[in-house]
Amino acid sequence: MTSLEEIAGKIELCQKCPLYKTRNKPVPGEGPSDARVMLVGEAPGRNEDLTGRPFVGQAGKFLDQLLGLAGLSREEVFIGNVVKCRPPGNRDPLPMEIEACSPWLDMQFQVISPIVVVTLGRFSMRHFQDRFQLAQDSISKVHGRPTRIDTLVWHGWLVPMYHPAAGLYRGEVKEKIVEDWKKFGQFLSSIKTSQTKTQ
Ligand code: URA
């Protein structure tokens, strides 16, 4: 099977949408290929574009705190994005950019085969709702709520979260996000316990 490094190498050369012309560095994502938890954001911003690393700006600092609340460290999770190259001026990615870039995410997901996928924001949530033919519920309705997925190709949990950037300027959203991540930590402990029990 392909490795995450090989996928990153192909992303580096990708010209399937015009974003490669305006970006500095592609941001393939980072983390161990045996990560139990995979986080998927939207698209790189300015700092990510300059460094080639996901979530290293303000939203990333908040994400680090949220991971801590759930008892996780950045080193043990995989962090990636739906779109690997920065849309100019941080605009929303276009449908054709998402479609062109999604196969990379699908390949990374196949390699990692995580136990839990945490989607950060609505673009990432939509991607997995589409993949697993789930109802297109809005983030305000389903945030923080784990959904069990059992298909022929994957058994795991999907946990839609608000994008961390949404909490940076709105206090009431920040409170919800913090609450969701605390509960997520409890959820992770509960699935660890039940897995140990059945082994
Ligand atoms: N926002 C995202 O969705 N992804 C990043 O990598 C950084 C900010």
* Pocket of ligand 1 contains residue 26 by CB under 6 Å: no
Across-strand partners of 118? Answer: 39, 159
Go through the domains of the chain in sequence order and give each one's CATH number: 4-194 (3.40.470.10)
pLDDT at 113: 97
SS (H, E, C) the chain: CCCHHHHHHHHHHCCCCCHHHHCCCCCCCECCCCCCEEEEECCCCHHHHHHCCCCCCHHHHHHHHHHHHCCCCHHHCEEEECCCCCCHHHCCCCHHHHHHHHHHHHHHHHHHCCCEEEEECHHHHHHHHHHCCCCCCCHHHHCCCCEEEECCCCEEEEEEECCHHHHCCCHHHHHHHHHHHHHHHHHHHHHHHHHHHHC
Q: How far apart are CA 58 and CA 164, in angstroms?
A: 9
pTM, two decimal places:
0.95
The tens-digit pLDDT sequence of the chain (199 residues) is 799 999 999 999 999 999 999 999 999 999 999 999 999 999 999 999 999 999 999 999 999 999 999 999 999 999 999 999 999 999 999 999 999 999 999 999 999 999 999 999 999 999 999 999 999 999 999 999 999 999 999 999 999 999 999 999 889 999 999 999 999 999 999 998 665 544 3
Cα(45) to centroid(ligand 1), Å: 6
R_g of the chain, CA atoms, integer Å: 16
How many A from CA of 21 to the centre of ligand 1? Answer: 19
Residues 6+ apart with CB under 8 A from 63: 39, 55, 79, 120, 164
How many alpha carbons fall within 13 Å on the CB side of residue 78?
26
CA 55 to chain centre: 10
Q: Is 42 in the pocket of ligand 1 (CB under 6 A)?
A: yes
Residue 39 alpha carbon to ligand 1 centre in Å = 11
